[in-house]
Amino acid sequence: MSHHLDTFPMPSGLIRSQVLGDQSIYTQLLEMMLHLQETLKDYFAQTQQSPVLEEQSHAQAIYEQEALLGRKMCQMVNLLQCGVTGGLGIQMPLPSLDSRGDVRGGQRTQSSRQLDQPVPQLSDFEAAFNGCDLSNRGVDISVLYHSSFQDYKAYQRDKYKDKNSGLINLGTSENKLCTDLITTRLLQSDMNCIEKNLLQYTDWRGHLFLREEVARFLTYYCKTPACLDPENVVVLNGCCSVFSALAMVLCDPGEAFLVPTPFYGGFTFTSRLYAKVELIPVHLESEITDVNTHPFQLTVDKLEQALFEARLQGKRVRGLMLTNPQNPLGDVYSRDSLKEYLEFAKRYNLHAIIDEIYMLSVFDKSVTFHSVLSMESLPDPNRTHVIWGTSKDFGISGFRFGALYTNNKEVAAAVSAFGYLHSTSGITQFKLFRLLQDREWIDKVYLPTNHFRLRETHKYVTKELQELEIPFLNRGSGLYVWINLKKYLFPCTFEEELLLHQRFLDNKLMLSRGKTYMCKEPGWFRLVFADKPTRLRVAMCRFSQTLGEQKQYLIRKQLEDAMKE
């Protein structure tokens, strides 16, 4: 994805001063232009290639790209309209849009119009605007969604099903290793309760029976010094809903959280959809140096530096967001480190949000997880908020369950408001209650089996990586490994990272790339290994094949470069 301006005409200096009163609008427009250009390139590449998906899926994919183009167009037009005051005519040739916001026809007629037709006037822009039924916010959301979930949507249309053609998804963090155990447990008779209170509206914080069970469960597995209080638990439909609600009630729009990078990309989408909270990266480096005793080490110095820089820029930082065990690194924070981070938060009046969604997915017996809830005394109990859910540890992301635990009654009360639009169904709450309640099954059957299988698949994948001489972090927790593919990028840029990512997709393998985790260094990928061994073998085959192709591509490219010089 190069950034050359060879497809679309750019506004000239004259037009700029006529049309756009504001430098920031100009900058935004430029960025949109660049994005539009990239999307157009992708689109044309895809329509020209032979269909790779099943016919209907392909048509759907094409349709979505067309719609996206239309929307991006609308967004630009809207922005331009902001810049137009007093009915100024616009001198800039732009493709016309039909009522669906379809850019294709416009693209085709553009060159001829540039030569022999009058330039479009404001009415054209109005027509384009009327062609878009979404608000500006709606266009933004649509663009954000498409760019965040493009691969995932392709996967939903074309899943691998024990034949060779579909996409294998090692990009989404799901544990598919214990579906057999979970299914068997969920089919037992104690699960199938349909009481009338489950059918009706609930306490928006979640049913009391479930909040009580969550409190007992976390008391036990987090080894808390005292019993947790169900009144401090709020249940919503997933951990991202909990994070979104926290961002809404702890921050005003434009305020910020500090988040060490690389971090889970879902936080970015979530913080943008509603809360409009900025996630300020605390950049960690892969190299071991004086300050870094291990790759991507988080230190209080780095937190402080990021905080000071943010404050210098006038940003209002309200909190620190940590994930422990970390995603995508797999790091498990020591008790001392954790305490340091929390003391840093207290020192600067920051809320600390700790996402412990992988707490039971520590499969290496030599690694010990410490929940913040296990601390004898929290540095700032009133500003420490813990998130946990069953999506990862029990491999049931489809259950839509996330829980907040906070000692802060005000925060718990405010987050409860979100139950109205983010609650999970009563029958699901009941099954979760039964599941969490069955401590014997969890301790004696589920966890040992799950950890064994995680170890086995981790062992298989890391052995493959070693054979391919690919560096990776070996941390013993989570459902993924963080791998270093820098040597396959030339030059080592995010553009090349994206191209390699696309090459994996072309080989029907979905990974997730470092850029979506806000990683500072190009070339890192997250590979999920918590998948069925048979599928994992096919996936690693595709992985190895893609890297083979990439190697050939690099050799050709370097040869060409050498010949140019």
Scan residues 71-90 and list those touching a copy of itself (CB under 8 A). Answer: 71
Output 307 or 352, the one with its CB closest to a copy of itself.
Answer: 352
42 binds a copy of itself per the rule CB under 8 A = no
Q: Would you count residue 445 as binding a copy of itself (CB under 8 A)? A: no
User: Could you tell me the smallest distance in angstroms from the CB atom of residue 529 to a copy of itself?
Assistant: 16
Q: Show contacts of 46-53: CB within 8 Å, 24+ apart.
A: 52/506, 53/154, 53/157, 53/158
**Single residue of 25, 34, 67, 181 touching a copy of itself by CB under 8 A:** 67
First to last CA, the chain: 23
d(CA 435, CA 428): 10
Question: Residue 360 Cβ, how far from a copy of itself at the closest point, in Å?
Answer: 16
Q: What part of residues 1-40 is at the interface with a copy of itself (CB under 8 A)?
A: none
Taking the least distance from each CB to a copy of itself, the nearer of 229 and 304 is 229
Q: What DSSP letter does each residue of 362-375 carry, written as one string?
A: B--TT-----GGG-
Please check whether residue 207 is in contact with residue 432, taking contact to mean a CB–CB distance below 8 angstroms. Answer: no
Report the residue number, 152 or 553, with the smaller CB distance to a copy of itself.
152
Q: How far apart are CA 330 and CA 528, in angstroms?
A: 11
**Which of 79, 249, 378, 541 is the binder for a copy of itself (CB under 8 A)?**
249
Residue 415 Cβ vs a copy of itself, minimum distance, rounded to whole Å:
9
Shortest Å, Cβ 361 to a copy of itself: 16
Closest CA to 351 of 280, 256, 229: 256
Q: Which of 7, 57, 91, 425 binds a copy of itself (CB under 8 A)?
A: 425
Span from 114-122, 215-223, 426-434, 435-443 in contact with a copy of itself (CB under 8 A): 426-434
Closer to a copy of itself at the Cβ: 84 or 186?
186
List the interface residues with a copy of itself, window 88-147 (CB under 8 A): 101, 130, 132-139, 141-142, 144-146
Q: In the bound complex, what is the minimum distance in angstroms from residue 437's beta carbon to a copy of itself?
A: 18
The contacts of residue 179 (CB under 8 Å, 6+ apart) are 395
Which of 414, 492, 498, 554: binder of a copy of itself (CB under 8 A)? 414
Q: What is the DSSP letter of 168?
A: E
Residue 27: how many other CB atoms lie within 10 Å: 11
CB of 223 to a copy of itself, least distance (A): 26
Cα gap 40→42, rounded to integer Å: 5
Strand 351-355 relative to strand 317-323, pairing: parallel
Indicate the residue among 121 and 156 with the shorter CB distance to a copy of itself.
Answer: 156
For a copy of itself, the closer CB: 101 or 262: 101
3-state helix, strand, coil in the chain (%, to 5): 55, 10, 35
Q: How many residues bind a copy of itself (CB under 8 A)?
A: 93
- Site residues for a copy of itself, 330-359, by CB under 8 A, read 349, 351
Nearer to a copy of itself, 61 or 485 (CB): 61
Nearer to a copy of itself, 4 or 196 (CB): 196
Question: Which C-beta is closer to a copy of itself: that of 71 or that of 458?
Answer: 71
Q: d(Cα 439, Cα 447) in Å, to the nearest integer?
A: 10
Query: In a 3-state reduction of DSSP, which class is residue 490?
Result: coil
- Closest approach, Cβ 404 to a copy of itself, in A, equals 14
The residue among 409 and 551 lying less far from a copy of itself, judged by its C-beta, is 409
Residues 6+ apart with CB under 8 A from 169: 152, 155, 159, 160, 510, 528
Please identify which residue in 255, 340, 364, 495 interacts with a copy of itself, judged by CB under 8 A: 255
Q: Please answer whether residues 72 and 35 qualify as being in contact, where contact means their C-beta atoms are separated by less than 8 angstroms.
A: yes
Residue 392: CA atoms inside 13 Å, Cβ hemisphere, count?
Answer: 28
Positions in 260-299 near a copy of itself (CB under 8 A): 266, 269-270, 273-274
Alpha-carbon distances, residue 490 vs 283, 527, 557 (angstroms): 23, 21, 9
- Work out whether 514 is an interface residue with a copy of itself (CB under 8 A): no
